[in-house]
Amino acid sequence: MSSSKLSMREALRRAMTEEMERDPDVFLMGEEVGHYQGAYKVSQGMMEQFGEERVVDTPISEQGFAGLGVGAAMCGLRPIIEFMTWNFSLVAIDQIINSAAKMLYMSGGQFPIPMVFRGPNGAGGMLSAQHSQSLESYYVHCPGLIVVMPATPKDALGLLKSSIRNDNPVIFMESEVLYNYMDEVPDHEYLIPIGEADIKRPGSDLSIITWSRGYHFVMEALPEMEKAGINPEIVDLRTVRPIDEKTMYESVKKTNRVLIVEEGWPQASVGSHVADLIQRNCFDFLDAPILRVHQEDVPMPYASNLEKASLPSTEKIMAAVQHLLK
C-alpha cells in the first residue's frame, strides 16, 4: 500500500481531520486552535474546513475549557481538548483527575467520557523549568485515564484516531521537539490499537524500553552501539497506560538485559514502574540489574548547555549499555 512522508504535526492534523469528517460529534477546543491555527500549527486550516462551532478558540482558562470538555463528553460529544503545553494542564488537573477520570466510576457506568486531552510535552529548548516538564507520570498514576505517547508520525496518526474513538478519557502527549520530525505514514485508513507496543528494532544483546522522545535519544545512540558491535532490541511502548506487558516481557526473556530510557524525572516515574514490572515478572531471566537513563533529578535549567546536560544523551546511554554488557 502507498505511503507519504509527513511531519508529526501533519500526521496529528490528518488524524483529527479524518475523525471530524467521519463523526460530527468530534470537535476541537483550546487556546489559539482556530484563528491562529494552533500554537504549533497542528490545527492549521481546520477552522476554515469545519467552522468556529467545531474548532473552538477558548480564553486562557485551562480549568474552564477542560471542564467544559468533560461536560460535553457527558452529553455524548467527543471533544479534543488541546493544551498549548502539558505544563499548562496543571491548572486543569482537578478537571482531568477528579472529573474526567472518575466520572464513569462514580456514575455507576452511566457517563462514559469519550474525550482526548492532547498537546506538547517535555523539554522544548530553552523554555526553562516551568515549561519543560515531562508530566506523564502525573497522569499514569490515576486510574480511569489512558496515556498515549507516540514517537513517530505513523504512530501519532494511528494512535490519535484510536484515542478519539475510545470511550474513555485519553491523555495524548506529543513531544514538543518532534513536530517537525518527518517519516512515512500510510495513505490509507490507519489505526493502532491502544496498549500495543512496537518492536522498532529487533536485537539480541539487550532490551531498550522507551517511548516518545526517549526513542529518539536511543536512535541517536544506536550508531555508537552498532560501531561497538552491540545489537540492541528497541521496544517502543507507545502507550504507557496501559502498558503492553506481554511484548515487553517477551523481549526481556530473549535478551536477558534491560535498559529503560525516558525523558521524565527518575522518582516515581513511568520508568520506575516498568522496572518494577520487569523485576517481578522476569526476575529469573535477568543476567544483570535493570538500568535506567532519565532526566536529571533537577528543575530544567534555561541555558541550552545545561538543558542538554540534564536530558538523556548518547554518552549516558552508551555508559549504561556498556555496564549492562560487562
Active site residues: 62, 131
Cell of 21: 469528517
Q: How far apart are the first and last CA of the chain?
A: 44
**Grid coordinates representing 47?**
477552522
CB of 208 closer than 8 Å to CB of 234: yes
Could you count the other beta carbons within 10 Å of the beta carbon of residue 54? 17
Is 16 in contact with 46 (CB distance < 8 Å)?
Answer: yes
Output helix, strand, coil percentages for the chain, rounded to the nearest 5. 40, 20, 40
Can you tell me whether residue 4 is helix, strand or coil? strand
CB 222, CB 254: distance < 8 Å: no
Cβ neighbours of residue 207 closer than 8 Å, sequence gap 6 or more:
232, 233, 235, 248, 251, 252, 254, 255, 257, 258, 259
In 3D, which of 218, 167, 220, 155 has the Cα closest to residue 191? 155
Helix (H, G, I), strand (E, B) or coil at 39: coil
Q: Which residues pair with 26 in a beta bridge?
A: 78
* 169 membership: H or E segment, kind and range: none
